[in-house]
Homo-oligomer: A and B are copies of this chain.
Amino acid sequence: MLSKKTKYAFHALTYLGKHKDQGAVPIQEISTHHNISHKFLENILLELKKAGLLGSKKGKGGGYYLIKLPNEIPLSKVIRLLDGPIALLPCVSLNYYEPCEECASQEKCGLNMVMAEVRDETLKILEMKTLQDILERE
């Protein structure tokens, strides 16, 4: 399941997408609108900024804004940033690979291959669908 962090991130991105002609949007406005703790959201937006999805402006009249087009932000990117791996096993994760400690050998692990399939199908969707798709549905 997606964490609250990730869900909040999507809410914030969606809000910014809807208000992109408004320029910089202060955290306060988003947190009030979506009923999210101001400080918690702060951390999330900072991460999104560091990852290159958002720009920001300090001081009075400042806030956050998208620096990419909504169709350039795949859902997979957001999930990976806030939640980590999309795969169900570390040994089939593309971005957060780790060998399974309890598995003797990776070749002999029967789960391995099935979970790689699940990962591929999931990514097909999450990499194709973008913030744009979410915006179109709200």
Contacts and interface: CB of A to CB of B under 8 A. Distances in A.
Interface residues of A, number: 41
Interface string A106-122: 00111111100110011
A113 to B, nearest CB: 6
A41 B136 CA distance: 47
A102 B138 contact: no
B117 A136 contact: no
Given A1-B85, A7-B89, A7-B100, 16 more contacts: A1-B84, A1-B87, A1-B88, A2-B89, A4-B102, A7-B111, A11-B102, A34-B102, A35-B102, A110-B136, A110-B138, A111-B134, A114-B126, A114-B133, A118-B125, A122-B122
